[in-house]
Structure 1
Amino acid sequence: MGTPLIAQLAAAPAVGEEYRPYALSPDGSRVAFEWYKGGDWQIHVMDLPDGEPRRVGDLRDRCACPQFSPDGRYLYFSRDDRGSECFDVYRWEVATGALVNLLPETPDLAPLPDPDLSPDGTQLALTVTHGDGYAVAVMPAAPNPRGEALRLFTEHPYTESSPRWSPDGRRLACTIGTRGQDTAIIVIDTGTEETTFVGGSDEFFAGQLAWSPDGGRLAFSGGPGDHPAIGVYDLASGSVTWAWEDHHVDAHHPVWAPDGAALAFLVDVEGETGLCHVDLRDGSVTEYSIGPGNHYAPGFTPDGAALICVLSRPDAPPDLYRVELDSGDVTMLTDSLPTRLREARFVSGSPVWYTSWDHLAEVPGILVEPDEPNGAAVVIVHGGPTWHHSNEWDPLRQAFVAAGLTVLHPNYRGSDGYGRRWQLANRWLMGQGEVLDVAAGHEFLVRHGCDPSRIAITGRSWGGFHTMAAVTQFPELWAVGVAGVPFFDFIDSQVDTAIRDDLRWWDLQNTGDIEKDRAKLTYYSPINHLDRVEAPLLLLGGALDPRCPPRQIVEVATELRRRGRICDYVVYPDEGHEISGLKHRVDYDRRTVEFILEHTGSA
């Protein structure tokens, strides 16, 4: 018997997308990148334009965020400790292959995965856990046992990324959380420790920063409008100008051209993310999108002649591409799609809108229809909740469609990519309107010809919570549910000390206070309504998950079984929130697909 399609899809290589998934050497002759190949996310190095990728080291945990030293001698990257998100920083000598851990003996230190090397190559800037949140910190770019040489600057309850050095090495800039989902950029003078803030309120938010080559300006995503624009902050005058803004789409992740005369950035449009370029001298904008799907992590080549980015297509895993600015010609730098999948039929999704059950919102989503529908369907709910499903590579989606199921991805209230009002529409109302948005997806699928008794629901993380909320609030709708790395209880998520402090702060700021809002949070916690569950359930978790610890998975499964309900569960050892080890990742996706096919009559 051949390997099931979902096992082939789950094991397919892919280039990373988040934080800093690749880095060009200073002379542009080679690229280092995150690649899911051979068992987990590892760093690979490749000579350009068409060299063979070479794996860096022989590490077994996820590795991420490569960065070359200014002289090209070293490559720095982070390594996760078994999914716990307690990252170490490694230094690899390009010529000899010597590999050194710069943060040994730091089992409880949890920096974010994207440290930044100073322009002179002597220091690393990080964001590290400290107290009840995170601190902006600096350490030598050398072994630092127990983190004893860390120099801490400002502390913040929440931050999105590590600080970035100014080109002269005198200042750091970092995106921090201020309240709810508002963000600001903090600029720190490392000599005087004086700070300057950009944004940080409902009226003006700022994040996703990039220093100009001369160090005098910061490009960022944000603004006072509903849809994030691309702004430029002048450090000398404190003024902000807008390089690009559109009142209908979100713009984000700006990067500077080497000569400081242009910016590249991303735009979200109807479930896809395009690649754009703006000339700051005359304001002219050019789109360089390569094809359908999501573009990630734009960057200029050192000579400024081309853009590098990651593209995740609906018919191919994320890969690295180069786009020439003068001609628009595209070169594919990596090719992750396995040979045996090249003849497979991959289906592209279409943007849709439908009315929520409270009739207060039109809900955007992605609909993916099989060539030969069998009447069954699955609603796949994204996590975050500040994220959104896109028309890009998705192994689960393609496995379900190949089996004849129609797939709907609702981008419910709270999703990003559709403006700030939509992103904040579930704040203080989590488990309420957002769940109605998802439940209304059932009615939408029925109108599209699906059998109302054969519709499944699944999701990961916040999508796992949505799955549990759906089967407890609307038990009559669902044939089956699969909740991946879920949480079940708003109260518990704020008091469980196994959850990182910054995530508990986010919950307090967005779901409510466990004392003042206890009645509401209790009512909308699925763990308090397990008596309403009717659908067979599969629960999947990671033993070392610092975001949604698996303790309650066992409690929920035990209680549902006591009540005579079908509830299978698996907690994967040595895995965190992502479930990234190859064996476990394949098992996770295979179980999800097979459980849903079985209980929708599609096996």
Structure 2
Amino acid sequence: MGAMTESKNSELEGELTDPAPAWQRRFRAPRVSLPEWAEEAPDRSLFVSNATGTYELYAWDRASGEQRQVTDRPNGTTDGTLSPDGAWIWWFADTDGDEFGVWMRQPFGGGADEPAVPGLDASYPAGLAIGRDGTLLVGRSTDEDGSTVHLVRPGAGAPVEIYRHRESAGVGDLSYDGSLIAVEHTEHGDAMHSALRVLRSSDASVVAELDDTKGGTEELGLAVLGFAPVDGDSRLLVGHQRRGRWEPMIWDVAAGTETDLRLDLPGDVSAEWYPDGSGLLIVHSFEARSELWRYEIATGALVRVETPAGSVSSATARPDGSVEYLWSSAAEPPVVRSTDGGVVLDPPGPKAPPSVPVEDVWVEGPGGRVHALVQRPAGEGPFPTVFEVHGGPTWHDSDAFASGPAAWVDHGYAVVRVNYRGSTGYGREWTDALKHRVGLIELEDIDAVRAWAVASGLADPSRLVLSGGSWGGYLTLLGIGTQPEAWAVGLAAVPVADYVAAYEDEMEALKALDRTLLGGSPEEVPDRYAASSPLTYVDAVRAPVHISAGVNDPRCPIRQIDNYVDRLKARGAVHEVYRYDAGHGSLVVEERIKQVGLDLAFAAKHLGGGPVES
């Protein structure tokens, strides 16, 4: 990775003969994110890497090849961006992973950090846009104020509040010339489906509104994908759900016209502008895989951008027309590639050992066909099997490299990942299906796949592990309580455990999401919260359960986990709890390895498995 790691090269080269087991080496292998580049200085880039053992921000001058570490904090830093001229690196400074803090900035070439927006108190971030003329838009969220957007004009001094609402909202984008501001908001009260408002930066007056939640029986979401990168251009690229999936359109906010692209691609479609505004880089996600296309705006032609089979987790079009993208598959570790050929950014040191590919399984569930991804260890089944449940819930597992599932396969477990109702990538109806019976619907789909896994001979029914983090951790605790006969072990990381207490303590934006999912607050719909809370079913839990939790977590706060653990203790249930000094997960590699090692050891202990490598 160049100059930033020259002092570490000998250390990293020594790890080429690292005797540690493969599963640990996957976590330790140096990785990089897709580099972001400054719009007016494309040779200046910013990326995230774990080269020091903690995920931090790095600057890369492509012209000179020089790279340097920008941030260095005990709990890591991943939230950062470049100013359009490449002069400044912005990064968000929270406290030990609590996600509550302020924006800082540092000169691209190095130097002291300074507050980026003096006059704004700490908050949860809700979007950021930096204009070419120095105009700033800063989105904030606090429990006291709800959502606010603040404008800082060049040379004007103090930030000016231009938007405020109790419901979730944030910065969408700032036009190329800085004259227009796009805001995403949920003033209608549905935190899962945003509406859009465009304001003039000169006086914050409203230019245009786009709200697909009105006038129909179903609420549809919109998303800001970015203003056209052309001076004086009022076209805004927008994601919409009007035909039951995510797809892009072009909204000219000044003319009031909408251009529907109608791309003939199944699944969800996102897009970003090519730098000259002549085309769109299309990211097409379908059935747990993704691919890239170029859409020509003038002709409507759609041209495939060749990528290997697997998943593109992020992509960007460069000024020369090439496309850089971060690619991986379940079997092959991630790499930053370019359509020009070759690897864009290759960290030094040992590469992550490969894993095994995934198999696609489709199972008939109570709400329709459920897609699952299966990885098998060597040998003949039935195997002890881990159901690794993704978070979100509006997310999905894909054919992408993941060190956690690979570790289980190394230890002789089959791994099954289920894209339950609530997952993205299978249409709006599938994503929106979990309302009101939250958690219970997802578990119905997981249980259908569990029945298939046992009947097919893949899984040993006496050695089934339910595991997950965040929403996956929540579903784990809910599952071992509502389906106690099905699961032999539960492994829950940063979970929702007591839904009412979680609602009381979590950040305001998540309260809005919970009100959307459950149809109101705990005071308004107490029966729904009770039905969806793992705490309600804690006395039915039979499986030994291991819980890991960040003590600074603003999403799944520690008090509600302690409430659940106290109930386990009171009835003498078999359990272990690991608390660590971070937020909603850790950015420290050795901490991640420790947590996976604890899970592996706990499962082996209670399933009678073989020894766990340490």
Deviation of the 1:577 alpha carbon: 0.6
Equivalenced residue count is: 580
Contact 2:501–2:559, Cα closer than 8 Å, also in 1: no
1:58 maps onto 2:72 in alignment: yes
Q: Which residue is 1:520 aligned to?
A: 528
Distance 2:119 2:75 in 1: 16
Contact 2:80–2:91, Cα closer than 8 Å, also in 1: yes
1:507 maps onto 2:523 in alignment: no
Give the alignment partner of residue 134 of structure 1, picking from 147, 159, 165. 147
Q: Which residue is 2:399 aligned to?
A: 391
Q: Which residue is 2:440 aligned to?
A: 432
Q: Which residue is 2:235 aligned to?
A: 217
Q: Which residue is 1:444 aligned to?
A: 452
1:314 maps onto 2:337 in alignment: no
Secondary structure of residue in 2 paired with 1:15:
coil
Q: Which residue is 1:326 aligned to?
A: none
Distance 1:315 1:276 in 2: 24
Deviation of the 1:534 alpha carbon: 0.7
Give the alignment partner of residue 274 of structure 1, picking from 269, 291, 297. 291
- Please list, as runs of the form range in 1=range in 2, the aligned pairs for 1:27-176 lying within 5 A after superposition: 27-48=41-62, 51=65, 53-102=67-116, 108-112=122-126, 115-120=128-133, 122-130=134-142, 131-139=144-152, 149-157=158-166, 159=168, 162-176=171-185
Deviation of the 1:547 alpha carbon: 0.5
Contact 2:488–2:544, Cα closer than 8 Å, also in 1: yes
Distance 1:594 1:293 in 2: 31
Deviation of the 1:459 alpha carbon: 0.6
Deviation of the 1:286 alpha carbon: 1.9
Secondary structure of residue in 1 paired with 2:194:
strand
Distance 1:311 1:68 in 2: 23
1:293 maps onto 2:310 in alignment: yes
Distance 2:560 2:220 in 1: 39
User: Aligned letter for 2:369?
Assistant: E
Is there any run of 5+ residues in structure 1 with no aligned partner, and where?
324-328
Deviation of the 1:244 alpha carbon: 4.0
1:506-547 CA-partner distances (Å, limit 9, x unpaired): 101112322342123213311021111111100011111001
Contact 1:320–1:332, Cα closer than 8 Å, also in 2: yes
Secondary structure of residue in 2 paired with 1:487:
coil
**TM-score normalised to structure 1 length:** 0.89
Deviation of the 1:61 alpha carbon: 4.2
Contact 1:352–1:366, Cα closer than 8 Å, also in 2: yes
Contact 2:280–2:294, Cα closer than 8 Å, also in 1: yes
1:480-517 CA-partner distances (Å, limit 9, x unpaired): 010110012332233x1x31111101101112322342
User: Alpha carbons of 1:491 and 1:65: their partners in 2 closer, same or farther (altered >3 Å)?
Assistant: closer
Secondary structure of residue in 2 paired with 1:84:
coil
Contact 2:53–2:590, Cα closer than 8 Å, also in 1: yes
**TM-score normalised to structure 2 length:** 0.88
Q: Which residue is 2:363 aligned to?
A: 354
User: Alpha carbons of 1:402 and 1:61: their partners in 2 closer, same or farther (altered >3 Å)?
Assistant: closer
Secondary structure of residue in 2 paired with 1:333:
strand
User: Alpha carbons of 1:77 and 1:42: their partners in 2 closer, same or farther (altered >3 Å)?
Assistant: same
Deviation of the 1:397 alpha carbon: 0.8
Deviates more, 1:526-535 or 1:96-105: 96-105
Q: Which residue is 2:600 aligned to?
A: 593
Deviation of the 1:103 alpha carbon: 5.0
Give the alignment partner of residue 9 of structure 1, picking from 1, 23, 26. 26
User: Alpha carbons of 1:458 and 1:203: their partners in 2 closer, same or farther (altered >3 Å)?
Assistant: closer
Distance 1:337 1:353 in 2: 40
Deviation of the 1:319 alpha carbon: 3.8
User: Alpha carbons of 1:186 and 1:106: their partners in 2 closer, same or farther (altered >3 Å)?
Assistant: closer
Q: Which residue is 1:404 aligned to?
A: 412
- Please list, as runs of the form range in 1=range in 2, the aligned pairs for 1:487-498 lying within 5 A after superposition: 487-494=496-503, 496=504, 498=505
User: Alpha carbons of 1:26 and 1:386: their partners in 2 closer, same or farther (altered >3 Å)?
Assistant: same
User: Aligned letter for 2:55?
Assistant: W
Deviation of the 1:479 alpha carbon: 1.2
Deviation of the 1:198 alpha carbon: 1.9
Give the alignment partner of residue 255 of structure 1, picking from 266, 269, 272. 272
Q: Which residue is 1:190 aligned to?
A: 201
Secondary structure of residue in 1 paired with 2:171:
coil
Distance 1:96 1:203 in 2: 47
Distance 1:353 1:492 in 2: 37
1:262-285 CA-partner distances (Å, limit 9, x unpaired): 001211111012222111111111
Contact 2:70–2:110, Cα closer than 8 Å, also in 1: no
User: Aligned letter for 2:140?
Assistant: V
1:429-468 CA-partner distances (Å, limit 9, x unpaired): 2122211111222212112312100110101111111001
- Please list, as runs of the form range in 1=range in 2, the aligned pairs for 1:524-563 lying within 5 A after superposition: 524-563=532-571
Distance 1:50 1:480 in 2: 53
Distance 1:579 1:142 in 2: 39
Contact 1:127–1:163, Cα closer than 8 Å, also in 2: no
1:28-77 CA-partner distances (Å, limit 9, x unpaired): 22321122331322111223389363211434443334433343332223
Deviation of the 1:116 alpha carbon: 1.8
Q: Which residue is 2:11 aligned to?
A: none
User: Alpha carbons of 1:483 and 1:552: their partners in 2 closer, same or farther (altered >3 Å)?
Assistant: same
Contact 1:249–1:268, Cα closer than 8 Å, also in 2: yes
Distance 1:345 1:260 in 2: 39
Contact 2:281–2:292, Cα closer than 8 Å, also in 1: yes
- Identity over aligned pairs, percent: 26
User: Alpha carbons of 1:552 and 1:456: their partners in 2 closer, same or farther (altered >3 Å)?
Assistant: same
User: Aligned letter for 1:222?
Assistant: H
Deviation of the 1:399 alpha carbon: 0.7
1:150-177 CA-partner distances (Å, limit 9, x unpaired): 3211224455763321111111113333
User: Alpha carbons of 1:531 and 1:68: their partners in 2 closer, same or farther (altered >3 Å)?
Assistant: closer
User: Aligned letter for 1:298?
Assistant: A
Contact 1:527–1:556, Cα closer than 8 Å, also in 2: yes
Deviation of the 1:425 alpha carbon: 0.5
User: What value does the CA root-mean-square deviation take over the aligned residues?
Assistant: 2.6
Secondary structure of residue in 2 paired with 1:588:
helix
Q: Which residue is 1:484 aligned to?
A: 493
User: Alpha carbons of 1:210 and 1:566: their partners in 2 closer, same or farther (altered >3 Å)?
Assistant: same
Contact 2:241–2:428, Cα closer than 8 Å, also in 1: no
